[in-house]
Structure 1
């Protein structure tokens, strides 16, 4: 019985060990000083800017007005808004700003459908690159100048640094920290160690021919994950521009957080399963970035790890105390990893107080797993532009 128990406990422990060591390696990688520098390019490229917008009347006009302040020749970029479910008044305001409006004709609503619709309408030869932004995103006036410098160096895929636009509720504040941990581990930490950065859904730029051809293969709710998959298949390195910022509105209550994560988790599971089918090919072709991504996509949400590791360690301690100590050592390593990944500016009293609400976030993410099927097949809209308080306020 003791041998059987040891085998079961070991089989459960191994994936948690792999996941947490993975976090630790790239958290350390994040702390390695390494900055990408691109010289100012004499060549100015033509960019298509796409804003998919579903019922985003509250934020889209401000976002477009902000983007129009670019220190970049106006004739070298065009903004397209896919206006899904927005009012005639909003569309008219956008048209008055000189924005091209597309009204969706597709039945199955998704961001992928909006992007494909745009690519089917525009003339590919009119542009060199395409920038994807969410309706609530704000960027600095030199955004296109900076991404152009990187694009001119030969980059096919670029991810810029998405940061929180708001921290008006504890949930939004914690979501902002979570975003920065992702940036530290999956983007900056990866690039510092020579691996491509992960995409994050907006603030992305692609070479337009590659993007159009690839998007034609994508129809899921997790278009950014599938784009990553095809980038890795084509062995394209995704550059991460840490100092080029995109302000992104964070979810402001736990219900919206649960709905959002439902879609993310479903997309991650689907892409993991697709990639897993290619495991032998990945090993045979030595596509190590794809292998890295396979491990990354196997990892449950961090909040689940934060809750499950001590729970499992406590259960093991009750059954076989001598086997439990490694669980608590592993948990300590996980805490150290997260501490390294959190940028220094978040080491504040507010962060400490917000961490006390993590058990409620844990429950919200658990609820997300219960709705994975709907997250896979149904468009989940995250509302923007309205101040909302946490439900326990």
Structure 2
């Protein structure tokens, strides 16, 4: 009996230390996100040439609205809009071409965003563009997006991530998803950039030096998390990713649990992929080259997704009330408080004024269940491209930036 108790003590205390590190990591960067960042110093002022790349996988309706909005964007320099058409209807392609959008058609046995972007860059002429900006099929650029990205490149950055924010808050799940993205923005982008580290990429609303992106996408493979792979490659090169907190790209938020689960399945699959792929190299990069950015990216891959973390800590707290081994209930209670503090500090103040916040809290247990379900479906993401379906939506008047 003593041996059994000792075994479970070791397991639960080890788990407790791991989850404590999770909570402390989130809290540190949540607090850091409130640190003021010095304005960028534009060293080389010129209007760089942009190509805007919009991968579109079987999204015939939304892409027409997105590309039209992109064409109407105001920028002092020159830019072209290209849709990477994967499975679009012939009439959609013809309509796009008639409006002045460049169309690059691609077809793969297994579609991925990374392969589509690599194919598009190889199809475009050399030395025509300075910067490649990437949008998702549902994204709308906010005012001065290209102008501000251009300034960041003038300050010496080779990679820029803008502030992706909600286009719609028309359901409780969409509001919950919007809260989640803003917390991510605060912790993984604003918080990291504020302490002199790289922002994390988010998959869209990002821009790269044209030739640099071609290099980064070389042999990208069939990963379901091309943005995370780019994160690791940039960190290995020890290049800094700039975060523009006041420069917005509007993104459609998930409206229902089914789509939420599908999207999170893809995200968890990507996280597990990079945890296995780069764990050993993260230690080597840190000890041999002092590359703390790469090590930090690996550390992020080991963090428990926040919804699951809430659920796990809640279960462990309840279990500790009856189990005779492991940390006391107070320990798990403190971890829940640390996690709650990190999330509440990271959430922008405007969300607290919205009455939908309290309805979103009620959806949290269901979201935790969806995350648990997604965890057991990760093999689906490896076998097929789990794209997120979109609808045509205007930017909501509730979205205040």
- Superposed displacement of residue 59, structure 1: 1.4
Alpha-carbon distance in structure 2 between the residues aligned to 1:271 and 1:53: 25
Asked if 1:343 corresponds to 2:348, the answer is: yes
- Give SS of 2:321's match: helix
- Give SS of 1:123's match: coil
- Give SS of 2:121's match: helix
What is the aligned partner in structure 2 of residue 390 from structure 1?
A: none
Asked if 1:58 corresponds to 2:61, the answer is: yes
Which range moves more in the overlay, 320-329 or 186-195? 320-329
What is the aligned partner in structure 1 of residue 321 from structure 2?
A: 317
Question: Is the contact between residue 86 and residue 107 of structure 2 (CA under 8 Å) also seen in structure 1?
Answer: no
Match runs of 1:155-166 below 5 Å:
155-166=157-168
- Give SS of 2:127's match: helix
Question: Is the contact between residue 86 and residue 106 of structure 2 (CA under 8 Å) also seen in structure 1?
Answer: yes
Question: Is the contact between residue 279 and residue 298 of structure 2 (CA under 8 Å) also seen in structure 1?
Answer: yes
Alpha-carbon distance in structure 2 between the residues aligned to 1:294 and 1:249: 28
- Superposed displacement of residue 386, structure 1: 6.0
Alpha-carbon distance in structure 2 between the residues aligned to 1:319 and 1:364: 27
What is the aligned partner in structure 1 of residue 240 from structure 2?
A: 237
- Superposed displacement of residue 302, structure 1: 0.5
Alpha-carbon distance in structure 1 between the residues aligned to 2:167 and 2:385: 23
Alpha-carbon distance in structure 2 between the residues aligned to 1:299 and 1:136: 28
Question: Is the contact between residue 67 and residue 141 of structure 1 (CA under 8 Å) also seen in structure 2?
Answer: no
What is the aligned partner in structure 2 of residue 286 from structure 1?
A: 290
What is the aligned partner in structure 1 of residue 93 from structure 2?
A: 91
What is the aligned partner in structure 1 of residue 205 from structure 2?
A: 203
So what's the TM-score if we normalise by structure 2? 0.92
Deviations 1:185-232 (A, max 9, x none): 000001111110000000110111121012012121210000001000
Question: Is the contact between residue 267 and residue 376 of structure 1 (CA under 8 Å) also seen in structure 2?
Answer: no
CA RMSD between the two structures? 1.7
Unaligned segments of structure 1, at least 5 residues: 388-393
What is the aligned partner in structure 2 of residue 326 from structure 1?
A: 331
- Superposed displacement of residue 282, structure 1: 2.3
Question: Is the contact between residue 263 and residue 386 of structure 2 (CA under 8 Å) also seen in structure 1?
Answer: yes
Instruction: Select 1:127's aligned residue among 108, 129, 132.
Output: 129
Question: Is the contact between residue 157 and residue 205 of structure 1 (CA under 8 Å) also seen in structure 2?
Answer: yes
Number of residues of Structure 1 aligned to a counterpart in Structure 2: 386
Unaligned segments of structure 2, at least 5 residues: 394-401
Alpha-carbon distance in structure 2 between the residues aligned to 1:276 and 1:360: 31
- Superposed displacement of residue 73, structure 1: 4.8
Alpha-carbon distance in structure 2 between the residues aligned to 1:303 and 1:272: 19
- Superposed displacement of residue 251, structure 1: 1.2
Deviations 1:62-88 (A, max 9, x none): 1112112222256x2221101122222
Alpha-carbon distance in structure 2 between the residues aligned to 1:287 and 1:277: 13
